[in-house]
Amino acid sequence: MRKPHVRKHALESATPLDWISLYSHISQVQVPRNELNKKLIAASNSGDVVRVTSLLNSGADIQTEDELSWTPLDCASIHGHLQVIRLLISRGSDPNYVNGVGFTALMSATIGGKTDVVTDLIALGADADIENPYGESALILAARYGLRDIVVELVKAGANLELQNKNGDTAVIKATIGYEPDILRELVRAGSDLNLQNQEGLTPLMIAVRSERTDITNILLEGKHINLDIQENRTGWSALHFSAERGNSATTEALLKAGANAQLKDNGGLTALEIAEVKAAEKESYLFICNGPDYTSLISLLKENIAKESPTLPSQQGSSVGGSFSTQQDRSPVHQDTSPTPPHMEPTTLSKTVEDTETEEKESDQGTTDTQQDIDAAHRRGRTQEALRNLVTRPVQIAKQIFNDLDKRLKSVDKKDQPEVIGQGSLDKEKRKTKTRESLLTIRPLMTHRKFHNLFSDFMQ
């Protein structure tokens, strides 16, 4: 039987809103608020000013957030829609509103790289020093992502240059870590504090020296009031210690010219020169080919600097008492006056002389205490240096032990045991001998150090 033809109505594919509009008793369709908010987010993302205006007039929430906690102003800012931004702020959107993830519109514009939006938001009242949950302001974010133009705009707006995030990093430290010389130059020129340390105790200069970025180091050395002798928390190393450990002669020379203290000691009592000497000895003990830094010129540079500074040290000006240096000028007035004592001394002069004598005795006692402290420090320093020497020479001892074992194996293989009938045992011995020599020939190119060349040659004979 043939099915009757059913005529499809035009509204069969309509939405529920279309069905609601058919009823005459409803004069206006009420769109759910969450639908309006979603459309407002979408219109702000696309920069549709007309659509945003219509949705706001229909009752959309101007501070609504999407599933990622972005507001309409955040969406317009990160995409650079200036007209939508101005419209939203004029209709009551707060430029300093912190969304669900802790970001403001200024931070959104910053990570979006929109310099013109950053300038506009600042003019409309955005605060440049608000921090996100990680303690990062818009300036730190701009330095972190290498956005020089935005850094310049934020500096002009008076952003705080000394703000530190949760790790203690400032904008200068972020620019140093990211190897951004242009941004770093702007921050140094603006007067950033170059002596602030992060939680590890590192300054921007230490980070630059440790990373062996000479260009970054030179920019930081141009800064005013930079302290070259700040020491890191764990090891007590200064920037010069890091430079000596890396074997960077150019950086070391620049630090010394800028006034770094070559006699500053770390927590173990070692100076930069002693660290360089230890690293040089460690390099000499390497078993394999090593194309590391040349510590010879660096050690010479440090020694020359210490020799130049020696005449101005107190140790060269006066006598040494238990490691505590003093001069005749540092003594009491009794020792300063070399003229004969007058026959008649007033009581006041006599009392002063007695007081000076007591002061001298106290200084002598203090000198004894300083002597004991210096002896203890010398013992600690000696133990540290001995431990470092053992650490350096230990690989050599291990290598000699390995070579002795190989020597015994070779000698046992080289014993010529030729029976009248070559059996399976002899064949296995010849295979082991061949395999051993092949193994030694494989590592021979690596063993070119002068300390082990002769030893190795003896094994291969």
- Count of the separate structural domains present in the chain: 2
Instruction: Kindly state whether residue 186 falls inside one of the protein's structural domains.
Output: no
Considering the domain architecture, whether residues 219 and 301 belong to the same structural domain is answered as: yes
* 389 — pLDDT class (breaks 50, 70, 90): low
Paired with 431 in beta bridges are none
pLDDT at 206: 96
Which of 318, 347, 380 is the endpoint of a domain?
A: 318
Q: Residue 448 domain-assigned?
A: yes
* Residue-averaged pLDDT of the chain: 75
Q: Are residues 312 and 406 in the same domain?
A: no
> Does residue 207 share a domain with residue 314?
yes
Q: Which domain holds residue 254?
A: 197-318
Give the tens place of pLDDT for each residue, 353-372.
Answer: 444 545 555 555 555 555 66
Examine residue 442 and state whether it is found in any structural domain, yes or no: yes
The whole-model pTM stands at: 0.63
318, 335, 351: which is the final residue of a domain?
A: 318
Q: How far is CA 374 from CA 271, 274, 310, 324, in A?
A: 16, 18, 19, 8
pLDDT of residue 397 exceeding 80: no
- Say what the pLDDT of residue 12 is: 52
Residue 5 forms part of a structural domain: no
Tell me the three-class secondary structure of 237-305, residue by residue.
CCHHHHHHHHCCHHHHHHHHHHCCCCCCCCCCCCCHHHHHHHHHHHHHCCCCCCCCCCHHHHHHHHHHH
Is position 206 within any domain?
A: yes
Domain stops at, among 283, 298, 318: 318
| CATH number of the structural domain spanning residue 241 | 1.25.40.20
In a domain, 219, yes or no: yes
- Does 421 fall in a domain? no
Closest CA to 392 of 280, 285, 245: 285
pLDDT in tens, 115-166: 999 999 999 999 999 999 999 999 999 999 999 999 999 999 999 999 999 9
Residue 307: which pLDDT band, with cuts at 50, 70 and 90?
confident
Residue 446, in any domain of the structure: yes
Supply the pLDDT for residue 429. Answer: 62
